[in-house]
């Protein structure tokens, strides 16, 4: 199912039982539309509200102002809570803290079991999901026997088995080694391209953000930049002001431009950069 995610003037602060604000505004009139089937990367310095925004997308947090719409469903409407969570799956940073069961396939089944899917269909979904993330051979292993990247792929499989239309990944690679990071990125791209699942990837790694169709830079509870990666990363000064880096290639191009070399500032991949540099020297 194709579902569009829409935030309308979203604002949020934490409240106590009497609805008094106990935190400053974390999100400030944030408006965004995420098209079905897109691959969006969300960047931002620590404390800019990107994780808070992510938790709004599946109704774990309810906005204190404005609206969050998942298709036609409002996250503030409790009747939709479980439909929304089925449509928008979430993967967190620490793979250890999101695996529930002692056997890989049992854990992948957990979400579908909660949804009340018939047993035979759960079996089918679990096998499909494990094959999709290339973990089928490990289905009878204990989570503690797996590497970080493998555990994170099991966590992703658990979400896929719920047949979501969108997956929000909150820094899924932050605790992984380079090899695990590559495995996860490969899985994410495949899910987006072959299954048409909308991907929202929150990350600190610019090299990962470059792979998205759209990059949103957040700062102080709102959107600072929102465009294709080439455009976003060409704003080197603004990125640095937001406390962020740009990909190494972009940094190189930027420094070369500053010292007077004529180069296209929309270069973000190594191949494009090599090509441009070779043309310069030719």
Partner 1 sequence: MLKDITIGQFFPGDSAVHKMDARFKLCMTLLFIVMLFMGKHLYSLIFGIVFCVLALVLSKIPFRLIWKSIRVLLPILAVTAVLDIFLIDGGDTVFKWHFIEITSDGVKTALLMVIRILVLLAGTSLLTYTTSPIALTDAIERLLNPLKKIHVPVHAFAMMMTIALRFIPTLLEETDKIMTAQKARGASFSEGNLLQRARSLVPILVPLFVSAFRRAEELATAMECRCYRGDVGRTKMRQLKAAGRDYAAMAVTLILFGTALVVKIIF
Residues that bind partner 1 (CB under 8 A): 58, 60, 82, 85-86, 89-90, 92, 94, 96-103, 105-106, 109-119, 122-123, 126, 140, 142-144, 158-159, 162
Q: Name the minimum Å distance from CB 143 to partner 1.
A: 7
Beta strands at 222-227 and 214-219: parallel, antiparallel or unpaired:
antiparallel
Tell me the C-alpha distance between 141 and 39, whole Å.
31
- Residue placing its CB nearer to partner 1 in the complex, 88 or 232: 88
Rounded to the nearest whole angstrom, what is the least distance from the CB of residue 231 to partner 1 in the complex? 32
Shortest reach from residue 123's CB to partner 1, in Å:
6
Of 63 and 111, CB closest to partner 1:
111
Task: Specify the residue, 77 or 264, whose C-beta has the smaller distance to partner 1.
Answer: 77
What is the b/e burial string over 157-191, where b = at least 16 CB atoms within 10 angstroms of the residue's CB? bbbbbbbbbbbbbbbbbebbeeebbebbbebbeeb
The whole-angstrom separation of Cα 279 and Cα 260 is 16
Nearer to partner 1, 60 or 276 (CB): 60
Comparing CA positions, the residue from 205, 103, 211 lying closest to residue 157 is 103
* Residue that the structure tokens 């695990």 belong to: 180
Choice between 115 and 272, CB closer to partner 1: 115
Which is closer to partner 1, CB of 109 or CB of 133?
Answer: 109
Give min distance, CB of 104 to partner 1, in A: 11
Q: How far is the CB of 29 from partner 1 (least distance, A)?
A: 26
Phi, psi angles (nearest 5°) of residue 14: -75, 145
Q: Considering the complex, what minimum distance in angstroms separates the CB of residue 189 from partner 1?
A: 22
Nearest CB to partner 1, comparing residues 127 and 226: 127
Contact 142, 114 (CB under 8 A): no
For residues 36 and 70, give the distance between their C-alpha atoms in angstroms, rounded to a whole number.
10
Other beta carbons less than 10 A from residue 116's beta carbon: 8
For residue 61, give both structure tokens: 């947090």
- Measured distance CA(144)–CA(226) in Å, rounded: 39
State in angstroms the smallest separation of the CB of 278 from partner 1.
47
User: DSSP code of 221?
Assistant: T
């Amino acid at each position: 199912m194709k579902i569009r995610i829409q935030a309308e003037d979203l604002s949020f602060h934490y409240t106590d039982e009497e609805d008094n604000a106990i935190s400053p505004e974390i999100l400030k009139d944030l408006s965004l539309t995420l098209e079905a089937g897109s691959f969006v990367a969300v960047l931002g310095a620590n404390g800019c509200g990107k994780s808070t925004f992510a938790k709004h997308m599946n109704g774990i947090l309810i906005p204190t102002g404005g609206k969050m719409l998942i298709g036609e469903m409002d996250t503030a409407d409790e009747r939709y809570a479980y439909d929304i969570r089925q449509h928008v799956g979430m993967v967190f940073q620490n793979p250890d803290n999101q695996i529930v069961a002692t056997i890989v396939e049992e854990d992948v089944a957990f979400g579908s079991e909660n949804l009340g899917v018939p047993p035979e269909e759960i079996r089918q979904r679990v096998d499909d999901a494990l094959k999709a993330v290339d973990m089928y051979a490990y289905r009878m292993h204990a989570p503690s026997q797996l590497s970080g990247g493998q555990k994170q792929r099991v966590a992703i499989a658990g979400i896929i088995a719920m047949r979501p239309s969108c997956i929000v990944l909150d820094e899924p690679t932050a605790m992984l080694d380079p090899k695990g990071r590559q495995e996860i990125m490969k899985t994410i791209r495949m899910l987006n391209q072959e299954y048409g699942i909308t991907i929202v990837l929150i990350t600190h790694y610019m090299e990962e953000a470059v792979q998205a169709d759209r990059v949103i830079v957040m700062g102080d509870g709102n959107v600072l930049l929102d465009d294709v990666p080439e455009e976003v990363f060409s704003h080197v000064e603004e990125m640095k002001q937001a406390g962020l880096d740009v990909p190494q290639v972009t940094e190189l191009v930027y420094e070369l431009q500053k010292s007077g070399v004529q180069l296209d500032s929309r270069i973000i991949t190594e191949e494009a950069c090599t090509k441009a540099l070779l043309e310069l020297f030719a």
